[in-house]
Amino acid sequence: MRRTACIDLPAFPLQLLLRQQLDWKTHPVAVVDADKPQGILLWVNEKARASRILPGMRYAAALSLARDLRAAEVSSKTIQDETAAMSRRLRLFTPHVEPASGDEPGVFWLDATGLERIHGSLSNWAALLRSDLKRQGFISGLAVGFSRFGTYAVSRSKRSAIVFRTLAEERAAARRVPLDRLNLETKTRDALHKLGIDDVGRFVDLPAAGIERRYGPQAYRLHRLASGELRLPLQPEKPLPPPMKRLLLDHAERDVPRLMAAIERLIDPLLGMLRERNQLLTEIRVGFRFERMGDHLETIRPAAPTLDVKQLIDLIRLRLQAIRKLPDGVDELVLAASGTAVAPGQLRLLGKRPKRDLAAANRALARVRAELGDGAVLRARLREGHLPEASFSWEPLKQLTRSAPRRDERGALVRRIYARPILLPSRPRQEPDGWMLRGLDQGPVVRTLGPYIVAGGWWQRAVHREYHFAETQKGQLFWIFYDRGRRRWFLQGRVE
């Protein structure tokens, strides 16, 4: 018999939310359709279920059961993008993957037939798959069996990998699965609970005709699947290969302008392939096969999805000009593109034109990245840290967005922080000529404010800093601290 596997990433949108909100993991958490008291809970974690919070409840009702409940929305586009990315990941383990429909994100059926010949056993394959998901930060349940519904039901109720040896063993395990683990309407689940029907076995024993008449088509379809009356074959996705163009050169080429001319001949037919798929280009990869040094890949991303040939040629030329001199002759060129579906244009009648053109700004940043690399454009991201230099990190800035400044009538000074504190000269005890922080240009320190003590780090290395604001004779305000552990003064930043 053919072997079928089902992997369930329970409450997949919820796991995506928890990957963004790391401090919520110790609380009951839910994903809601709208962040308001009357919003409906769509997915909940195990801590929420322990407080008797279930999908389908109102947000306000769930808060009455657990005051520390955390909830937020997860957009449908985010779910679609992450589902597509997970399908690509799972195809590394089996070529045939079918994601569930939109109402059950996080469920994937896989063809496991014959994989024991590669991995020694299906248990080894299942363990390898789950360990890969765990490294990505996902909780999962995996069942390897014989039927579509049996593997689905068991994977929804377990957080481990289970491999069934016989079809009878799979059916017995599926009958024990609670109904609240399946995709069943809340009112139907509650009505069956009042009749004492809480698992798949009792549900299957009910007459099918009565199920359709009393509980509707969704419950009837689930009953047919669970009883084996409805058998659906695996319907794997058939992803199209990425658009790609390849050119074998007559001789090893070292001249950058001639290579650029060859690339220009490939771009137009490459974009034509995207047009046929009704897609816009989001990323283009230019591969070079050198004569002796092997392969090299350059990745270029435009500011926004586009099919503008001129813009793409300009970005590629900037990247090649940054290389200046090729280390070896190029035998072969390969261009590969990634695309996204074309979004319908938004009509703007009588709309005000903004003073700042975000599209032009993003195109300028794309040119900077193309010439200097992806790490040339960064943004600061706040994070938890008790020391000033640990309270933020740098991450790549993919795209500028419209600013939304808060209204504040008070003037605010800008405090600039150095990535690493700068060692200062020792402070004279008597200071007969004043303390020269930054040389003669700024003059001596005339006034200090502080200390403001920052202490902690006992779990790794104890830190005790005494922060001061030091004003020089020329009016410059510096942010300095005295490190008691090292007994030295340091410059943390300056205020402007």
Q: Which residues contact 478 (CB under 8 A, 6 or more apart)?
A: 437, 438, 469, 470, 471, 472, 491, 493, 494, 495
Q: What is the CATH number of domain 4-171?
A: 3.40.1170.60
Question: Which amino acid does the sequence have at 275?
Answer: R
Task: Please say if the pLDDT value at position 433 is more than 80.
Answer: no
Q: Which of 116, 99, 117 is nearest to 108 (CA)?
A: 99
The pLDDT value recorded for residue 46 is 84
Query: What are 29's strand-pairing partners?
Result: 70
> What pLDDT, in 10s, does the model give residues 131-174?
999 998 899 999 999 999 999 999 998 889 999 999 999 999 99
Average pLDDT over residues 104-114: 92
The pLDDT value recorded for residue 166 is 94
Task: Please say if the pLDDT value at position 447 is more than 90.
Answer: no
* 414 confidence band (pLDDT: 50, 70, 90): low
Task: Please say if the pLDDT value at position 409 is more than 50.
Answer: yes
Task: Please say if the pLDDT value at position 404 is more than 70.
Answer: no
The pLDDT value recorded for residue 348 is 41
The pLDDT value recorded for residue 140 is 93
The pLDDT value recorded for residue 109 is 94
pTM over 0.75: no
Beta strand pairing call for 294-300 and 279-290: antiparallel
Average pLDDT over residues 335-340: 89
The pLDDT value recorded for residue 127 is 94
Lowest mean pLDDT among 123-137, 253-267, 280-294, 358-372: 358-372
244-341: CATH topology is Dna Ligase; domain 1 (3.30.1490)
Task: Please say if the pLDDT value at position 342 is more than 80.
Answer: no
> What pLDDT, in 10s, does the model give residues 299-336?
999 988 888 899 999 999 888 887 767 788 889 999 99
> What pLDDT, in 10s, does the model give residues 186-204?
788 889 988 899 999 999 9
Query: For tokens 């706040």, what's the residue?
Result: 382
**Is the pLDDT higher at 407 or at 450?**
450
Mean pLDDT of all residues belonging to the chain: 85
Domain borders along the chain are 4-171, 244-341, 415-495
Query: What are 245's strand-pairing partners?
Result: 335
Task: Please say if the pLDDT value at position 428 is more than 80.
Answer: no
Average pLDDT over residues 332-359: 66
Most confident among 331-335, 358-362, 462-466 (mean pLDDT): 331-335
The pLDDT value recorded for residue 115 is 92
Task: Please say if the pLDDT value at position 354 is more than 70.
Answer: no
Task: Please say if the pLDDT value at position 123 is more than 90.
Answer: yes
**Is the pLDDT higher at 70 or at 458?**
70
* 406 confidence band (pLDDT: 50, 70, 90): low
Task: Please say if the pLDDT value at position 424 is more than 80.
Answer: yes
Q: Which of 357, 388, 360 is nearest to 456 (CA)?
A: 388
Lowest mean pLDDT among 214-223, 257-266, 484-493: 484-493
The percentage of residues in the chain with a pLDDT greater than 90, rounded to a whole number, is: 31
The pLDDT value recorded for residue 129 is 94
The pLDDT value recorded for residue 459 is 61
Task: Please say if the pLDDT value at position 386 is more than 50.
Answer: yes
3-state SS of the chain is CCCEEEEECCCHHHHHHHHHCHHHCCCCEEEECCCCCCCEEEEECHHHHHCCCCCCCEHHHHHHHCCCCEEECCCHHHHHHHHHHHHHHHCCCCCCEEECCCCCCCEEEEECCCCHHHHCCHHHHHHHHHHHHHHCCCCCEEEEECCHHHHHHHHHHCCCEEECCCHHHHHHHHHCCEHHHCCCCHHHHHHHHHCCCCEHHHHHCCCHHHHHHHHCHHHHHHHHHHHCCCCCCCCCCCCCCCCEEEEEEEEEECCHHHHHHHHHHHHHHHHHHHHHCCEEEEEEEEEEEECCCEEEEEEECCCCCECCHHHHHHHHHHHHHHHCCCCCCEEEEEEEEEEEECCCCCCCCCCCCCCCCHHHHHHHHHHHHHHHCHHHCEEEEECCCCCHHHCEEEEECCCCCCCCCCCCCCCCCCEEEEEEEEECCCCCCCCCCCCCCCCCCCCCEEEEEEEEEEEECCCCCCEEEEEEEEEECCCCEEEEEEECCCCEEEEEEEEC
Task: Please say if the pLDDT value at position 396 is more than 50.
Answer: yes
Q: Residue 423 corresponds to which tokens in the numbers above? A: 């060692």
The pLDDT value recorded for residue 431 is 56
